[in-house]
Structure 1
Amino acid sequence: MTATAATYQEIVDENGRIYRTGETPHDLMGRSRGWMMWLPWVAMMAVSVFEYGWGAVTETLSAKYGWTISDIGWLASGWAVFQAGIAFPAGRLREKNVVSARTAMLVGAVCSGIGYFTIAHTGNMVLAIIGYSVIGGTGAGLVYATCINMVGKWYPEKRGARTGFVNGGFAYGSVPFIYLFSALLGPGNVTVMLDSVGLYMLVLVGVCGFLFKDPPKSWWPKEVDPISWARNRSGAAGLAKNPPAVKQYTPMEAIRTGMLPLMWVSLVIIGGVSLFGINFQVDFAGESHFGAFVAASSAGVLSIVNGTGRAVVGWVSDKIGRRQTLTAVLVIAAIGQFGLLYAGNTHNLVLFMVFAFVNGFGGGAFYPLFAALVPDYFGENNNASNYGLVYSAKLVGGVGGGGVAAGVISAWGYTGAYVLAGSIALLSAVLTLFLRQPGRERHQPAEIGLVARPPATAGG
């Protein structure tokens, strides 16, 4: 499959957004753009075992290596810090064409494999932090950031739903491993099983990444006329709820609006709550005297709903507005914390599974909403960098949801930890009420004027 030369035209709206039209995906890469949705989705599922499968492997690692709950928590925190921390520098390097999507994915594949190879072979905490948390976290972060950015570039007119779908793979892709670890993993087979997981990630992410290809900057699908899209009924409704950015903000300009820092703080809080649930829900199920299968099932439900919920809220946000949807999701996340605590303390199995469902939805659906809200507020031209800054909130949230949460559990028990998680989740929801699109009055309509630039010819 080879790309062919095609004529394109650039159209600029009054907000500075450029639409490069005239080239089909076949012109650019020799295949349909559906590949650039399914490949990122598969890669995201492959690395999901790091975050959402961690809770199911910790008991065995503790038994084999003698790790405490604090050791486990800080390994998870370190992983989250490096997974989130790579997003901004990776985005800047990609925007400057220093690193291609293919290169980022191949490096991510190798680093992800090293992460699991490390904990398969050593219980030394220093080596585990270097291999699993630093190298493994960096690899997973490269995969995550590249995949999310890739699908948004190829589906600019369907960003909410498609981003949510790909983002969902990062959660429910771990479900088979949750059950596999719970049923089969033991101190005697840790090495062979975790080596197999590392090899699985290395190969699958590597193959997907090798086929990655970015569209030209500001590309727009040929079959979707941007003028008609902006003016037809569904496009107009979407613009009313999610109007385009009034200008293309650089990272520093986005910070100075005050809205990017507000997003960051909100994501710090809810990101920590989400990771707390992922890291400790299985342990809390055990403390609540539910069996191993129930504990694994609650984690499986959390992961499945966490992932599918991301796709659903992307579609809903296109209809009712991203900020409104985000606030609702964060309130649901808070309800999930209090509900799980009540169900666990009363040993109510049915309620526990119900609130595992609620917690799974609220604990993950906010990620694609932030991912789609950033270009809505600050434009597409610097989206990889701007979203990288917002996503870096997980650096702090990861510490809170891992090592700090372990300390809170040790000091206050699970009751204190879940009450704190629910309370600060509500605070995160309140903060989103203050989000406003920079440069646009609250009820100012989105008007788009388009100016065509002369056509040009490009070859892939």
Structure 2
Amino acid sequence: MAPSSDEADYAARARDHLGFSRWWLVVAAILAMAAISPYQYVWSSIEGPLAEDLGVPLPQLGVVFTLFVIVQAGSQFPVGWWRDEHGPRALTVLSALLAGGAYFLLSYATEIWHLYALYSLGAVGVGIAYTVAVNTAIKWFPDRRGLTTGLGTMAYAGGAALVVPYVRANATVAAYSDVLRTMGVGIGLCILVAAFVLRDPPASWYDRVATDGGEGEAENTASAGRNVGPRTMLRTWQFWLMYGMFVAGSGAGLMLTAKIVSFAGAMELTAVTATLSATLLPIAGGVGRVVMGGLSDRTSRRTALVASFGLTGLGLLAVVEFSRVGPTVAFLLSVVVATFFWSAQYTLFPSIVADYYGEQRSSANYALLYSGKMWGGVFGGAVTGWLVTVVGWPTTFQVGATLALVAGVAAVALRPPTVDGVGHASETAVGSED
């Protein structure tokens, strides 16, 4: 299919500024996102050997994952503000040192507090790489916002699929230290390569985007190009509704991500089933982000959010049901469905924030919304670990499913805010809807 006139114009102006195709920026973002993915998606495979080596009960390590989510999400607002003001390169180099170095040093941990400290330090590096990569797509591709954001976030989910079998095959006390060192070096080198490619558009770029508006449904672009900052965004009810949805959706999905291996074991499924579940998670998540992101460019991101959260909830309910009655294939398919649609929120939310509030301050604006992942991480880690001891695994997963379904219902109420020319926002909806 031939590119539209808007797409060709954006591509030509980007090439004039960069000296090369803007798609190379997406490639660099994909590389950085793939490199940091083990922090979230490999954790469920390495926590067992770590707990055994340190001689601590496995539930105590739930705090490590919770700290990771809190620090990774919480670091993104200062990171996003700095990036919007000063560009991405120096931050991305720092990310390489933190994310790669911390994973490498995990192999030398001898106390549980070492895990807390190192995983939190690495989380800062992950937060930097994540916000830089996601917002590179948002800033350079107003015409393909959902698709390009989906490609970057796909790598964050799908990149781990390349290493999960390797990690699972070496998930023993004797072997895991070498795995951590090897992966730490790889993480650092990949992010360094990306750092020398990534950059931001000139200020004139945003002026043109404001005039052009971009492609897609009018609902998706009604406020695009207004480029309001966090203070104005915080005065809109749309932000707070999305924040609640983000907390609920991420809580449900992070529960599944962090606990699927333990859940499978507790439900007396085979070790092969547990490994397949852990491997399918990042693959399904990666594909879901691209597919739903691309669809949202052509339809309505609100509709995409409603569908994504609703099907996440139904998928989690099916995970519980088929873990009890089988067959194994149905259980694995349910894991795929739940992850496919849950992961899409990490494509749809940054895109809708840019739709509603503009691209120029997108790093800081989306970082505020993304901070909701902190509370989702508290549920997916520590709260889930506590709930399991109180009500058991099936009921805990059903609580997660309920959170996702509530987020889907809430998404129905979303409307674009009106932001006037001097930066004040009101609750009046503008633009066409679906």
TM-score of the superposition, structure 1-length normalised?
0.86
| Aligned-residue offset at 1:396 | 1.2
Partner of 2:46: 57
Distance 1:67 1:347, change over 3 A: farther
Distance 1:22 1:124, change over 3 A: closer
User: Which letter maps to 1:170?
Assistant: Y
Distance 1:356 1:96, change over 3 A: same
User: Which letter maps to 2:90?
Assistant: T
Indicate the structure with greater helix content. Answer: 2
State yes or no: 1:112 paired with 2:99: yes
| Matched-pair contact (CA < 8 Å) for 1:60–1:185 | yes
State yes or no: 1:46 paired with 2:32: no
Greater gyration radius: 1
| Matched-pair contact (CA < 8 Å) for 2:217–2:300 | no
Partner of 1:103: 90
| Matched-pair contact (CA < 8 Å) for 1:108–1:143 | yes
* C-alpha distance in structure 2 between counterparts of 1:362 and 1:61, whole Å: 31
* C-alpha distance in structure 2 between counterparts of 1:295 and 1:187, whole Å: 19
Q: Structure 1: state its 5+ residue gaps.
A: 1-19, 447-460
State yes or no: 1:283 paired with 2:296: no
State yes or no: 1:122 paired with 2:122: no
| Aligned-residue offset at 1:317 | 0.8
* C-alpha distance in structure 1 between counterparts of 2:333 and 2:11, whole Å: 49
Which string of whole-angstrom CA distances, capped at 9 and with x for unpartnered residues, describes residues 311-346 of structure 1? 001111112200110011000110111110111122
* C-alpha distance in structure 2 between counterparts of 1:239 and 1:415, whole Å: 40
User: Which letter maps to 2:197?
Assistant: L
| Aligned-residue offset at 1:249 | 2.5
Distance 1:383 1:221, change over 3 A: closer
Q: Alignment length, in residue pairs?
A: 416
| Matched-pair contact (CA < 8 Å) for 1:168–1:307 | yes
State yes or no: 1:170 paired with 2:156: yes
| Aligned-residue offset at 1:283 | 1.2
Partner of 1:216: 202
Mapping of residues 425-436 of structure 1, within 5 Å = 425-436=404-415
State yes or no: 1:240 paired with 2:229: no
| Matched-pair contact (CA < 8 Å) for 2:167–2:176 | no
| Aligned-residue offset at 1:178 | 1.3
| Matched-pair contact (CA < 8 Å) for 2:11–2:21 | no
User: Which letter maps to 1:376?
Assistant: D
| Aligned-residue offset at 1:350 | 1.4
Partner of 1:350: 329
| Aligned-residue offset at 1:220 | 6.9
* C-alpha distance in structure 2 between counterparts of 1:114 and 1:346, whole Å: 44
Identity %: 28
* C-alpha distance in structure 1 between counterparts of 2:144 and 2:40, whole Å: 27
| Aligned-residue offset at 1:300 | 1.4
Mapping of residues 111-260 of structure 1, within 5 Å = 111-132=98-119, 134-217=120-203, 219=205, 235=215, 238-245=216-223, 247-260=226-239
TM-score of the superposition, structure 2-length normalised?
0.90
| Aligned-residue offset at 1:291 | 2.3
User: Which letter maps to 1:114?
Assistant: G
Partner of 1:454: none
* C-alpha distance in structure 1 between counterparts of 2:413 and 2:31, whole Å: 36
User: Which letter maps to 1:371?
Assistant: P
* C-alpha distance in structure 2 between counterparts of 1:226 and 1:257, whole Å: 23
Partner of 1:31: 20
Partner of 2:4: none
* C-alpha distance in structure 2 between counterparts of 1:146 and 1:173, whole Å: 17
| Matched-pair contact (CA < 8 Å) for 2:264–2:323 | yes
